[in-house]
Structure 1
Amino acid sequence: MLEIRQVTRRFGQNTAVRDVELEIEQGQMVGVIGRSGAGKSTLLRMINRLIDPSEGSITFHGKEVSALRGAELRRWQRDCAMIFQQFNLVPRLDVLTNVLLGRLNHRSTVLNLMNMFTREERIRAIAALERLDIAQTALQRAGTLSGGQQQRVAIARALMQEPKVILADEPIASLDPLNAKVVMDSLADINAREGITVITNLHTLDTARAYCNRIVGMAKGAVVFDGPPEALTSEAVRTIYGGEEGAELSEAITSTSINVPAPQPARKSTGQAQPALAAV
């Protein structure tokens, strides 16, 4: 059980996260949705302890991770893997080495300084890449890969940590729809097969509905919705994303659908410009 109790984070006079209360059971796949600036990334960074809460506490299986320091904090950051929107790989290193870096918090400082990995670790890294269908890139420099491939490398690196929780901070925000699907399928597969808790920040309602069994909606730093996808009504969507009461809010504005609209019958020219098709 991951418990977040009255967590607030301030940056000067700005309150990025406000009095958040959540209990997340082991094995859930949770989508955190909301507009940019709603506090989603700040919340995940506090869970991972990249930043500290200004108030409140975060506990995991009864241990207060928001109070950890030194070696205990490093162990928590090993158990709570973080996947970033911008991948955070080392571009000049090959893919295999990037994945092996996920083992650093499992090893001694001496071995890390010598950059020595065991045969078993290398086999495990190749297996992670094979699982994500990118083993053929193992010896390429990470910087030569496409964005979708780099995100899969980042997921493989997270698997090497043997985490209990995976936090994914906007993992598909910079990807095209097809690569976004591959990445979300991979996270869902890890959640289902290993029972690893996955908490992912998403801008898009369709993705959250399709992949997550629980959705947390944030607005202005506060949790304004917490429930299953089927409870995410139009009124709840309006509360999360804004909009006037009673006004229609099309979910298409947050869509990552890869469905291409059916071609329309040809029409005779009227001499007027026709509107361009919306980008998919």
Structure 2
Amino acid sequence: MTFELKNLTRRFGDRTAVDAVTVEIPQGQMVGVIGRSGAGKSTLLRMINRLQDPSSGSIRFGELEVSALKGAALRRWQRDCAMIFQQFNLVPRLDVMTNVLLGRLNHRSTAMSMLSIFTREERIMAIAALERLGIEQTALQPAGTLSGGQQQRVAIARALMQSPKMLLADEPIASLDPLNAKIVMDALRDINEREGITVITNLHTLDTARNYCDRIIGMAGGRVVFDGPASALTATAVCEIYGSDKDGAGIDESMTSTSINIPAAAQAAGALQSAAVGTLAGARA
């Protein structure tokens, strides 16, 4: 099903955070949304999930008018359109398994949810989601004891438990080191490719958007100023999205990179180890 935003706008008083955004996204695409802080990326995702209401415009998913939903119908959409946050939004004192199982709440009766009664099938689903993300060994640990990268993977597992039709990720790797960022992005791409789920993710690193996304949408001042494949993201397009420095030069893309060169890192580590051995041997002699 096609997902469509038409003239979507969100105002906060006199300020327009998202300004007449119109895009169509076919089912199964992985879309990266890039832009400077304050460009409207997070507000756009929060409107798609209906955590914030549009000031005007429409959101459609197939025949469903998302922007008009209320009550139980809205809760079903928020179940079908799972959201992953930069801050993870886990309950630190609860164990990992329970945090993941919370993704089933909108599939269950109110009584069962209040009593925290989860079925055997739901627990099997939760373990399978954790195994898929390589963190099944943390199932009984309090979520607050995990590293940032592990917590983000728990958040992804919780989103999978919603059996979503669409997955939104708001800066999912912003607070992660390069290696954990790669693990999280690999997981999102795997979900996109294996389940055919549409993934829309806000990113602050250009190399990540280029490497993982079928399509890149660039925002500036609340408007879409670029929409196309990674190959079309030229220096001119990047300048239009991010602007120029005081001398009129474009941005240095190395400053927006989370890439990690593992072979080079291993080579450097080996060189350091050899130097250390040589120094030790010289000291013994």
Fold match (TM-score > 0.5): yes
What whole-Å deviation, never above 9, does each CA across 1:136-173 have from its counterpart, x for those lacking one? 00000000000000000000000000000000000000
Structure 1 residue 70 corresponds to structure 2 residue 96: no
Task: Give the Cα separation in 1 of the matches to 2:251 and 2:185.
Answer: 25
* Structure 1 partner of 2:150: 149
User: How many residues are aligned here?
Assistant: 264
Shift of residue 250, structure 1, vs aligned partner: 2.1
Shift of residue 249, structure 1, vs aligned partner: 2.9
Would you say the 8 A contact 2:215–2:229 is kept in 1? yes
* Structure 2 partner of 1:228: 229
Q: Which deviates the most, 232-241 or 251-260?
A: 251-260
* Structure 1 partner of 2:125: 124
Q: Which deviates the most, 248-257 or 151-160?
A: 248-257
Shift of residue 62, structure 1, vs aligned partner: 1.7
Alignment of 1:1-280 (within 5 A): 1-243=2-244, 247-259=249-261
Shift of residue 258, structure 1, vs aligned partner: 1.2
Give the match's secondary structure for 1:235. helix
Provide structure 2 residue ranges, at least 5 long, that are not aligned to the other structure: 269-285
* Structure 1 partner of 2:276: none
Shift of residue 45, structure 1, vs aligned partner: 0.1
Give the match's secondary structure for 1:42. helix
What whole-Å deviation, never above 9, does each CA across 1:193-220 have from its counterpart, x for those lacking one? 0000000000110000000000000001
Give the match's secondary structure for 1:49. coil
Q: Normalization by structure 2: what TM-score?
A: 0.90
Opposite residue 167 of structure 2, the aligned amino acid is I
Provide structure 1 residue ranges, at least 5 long, that are not aligned to the other structure: 264-280
Shift of residue 257, structure 1, vs aligned partner: 1.4
Task: Give the Cα separation in 2 of the matches to 1:95 and 1:25.
Answer: 34
- RMSD across aligned positions (CA): 1.5
Task: Give the Cα separation in 1 of the matches to 2:66 and 2:92.
Answer: 31
Shift of residue 134, structure 1, vs aligned partner: 0.2
What whole-Å deviation, never above 9, does each CA across 1:64-100 have from its counterpart, x for those lacking one? 1111000000000000000000000000000000000
Task: Give the Cα separation in 2 of the matches to 1:62 and 1:230.
Answer: 32
Give the match's secondary structure for 1:252. helix
More helix, by proportion: 2
Give the match's secondary structure for 2:141. coil
Would you say the 8 A contact 2:80–2:164 is kept in 1? yes
Opposite residue 211 of structure 2, the aligned amino acid is A
Shift of residue 248, structure 1, vs aligned partner: 4.0
Task: Give the Cα separation in 1 of the matches to 2:220 and 2:254.
Answer: 19
Would you say the 8 A contact 2:243–2:250 is kept in 1? no
Opposite residue 179 of structure 1, the aligned amino acid is N
Task: Give the Cα separation in 2 of the matches to 1:177 and 1:139.
Answer: 27
Shift of residue 246, structure 1, vs aligned partner: 6.5
Task: Give the Cα separation in 2 of the matches to 1:200 and 1:258.
Answer: 20
Opposite residue 250 of structure 1, the aligned amino acid is D
What whole-Å deviation, never above 9, does each CA across 1:2-59 have from its counterpart, x for those lacking one? 1000011001111100000010110000000001100000000000000000010001
Opposite residue 167 of structure 1, the aligned amino acid is L
Shift of residue 126, structure 1, vs aligned partner: 0.2
Shift of residue 63, structure 1, vs aligned partner: 1.1
* Structure 1 partner of 2:282: none
* Structure 2 partner of 1:266: none
Task: Give the Cα separation in 2 of the matches to 1:237 and 1:114.
Answer: 51
Task: Give the Cα separation in 1 of the matches to 2:211 and 2:78.
Answer: 28
Task: Give the Cα separation in 1 of the matches to 2:16 and 2:62.
Answer: 28
Q: Percent identity?
A: 76
Give the match's secondary structure for 1:168. strand
Query: Which stretches of structure 1, 4 residues or more, deviate above 4 A after TM superposition?
Result: 260-263
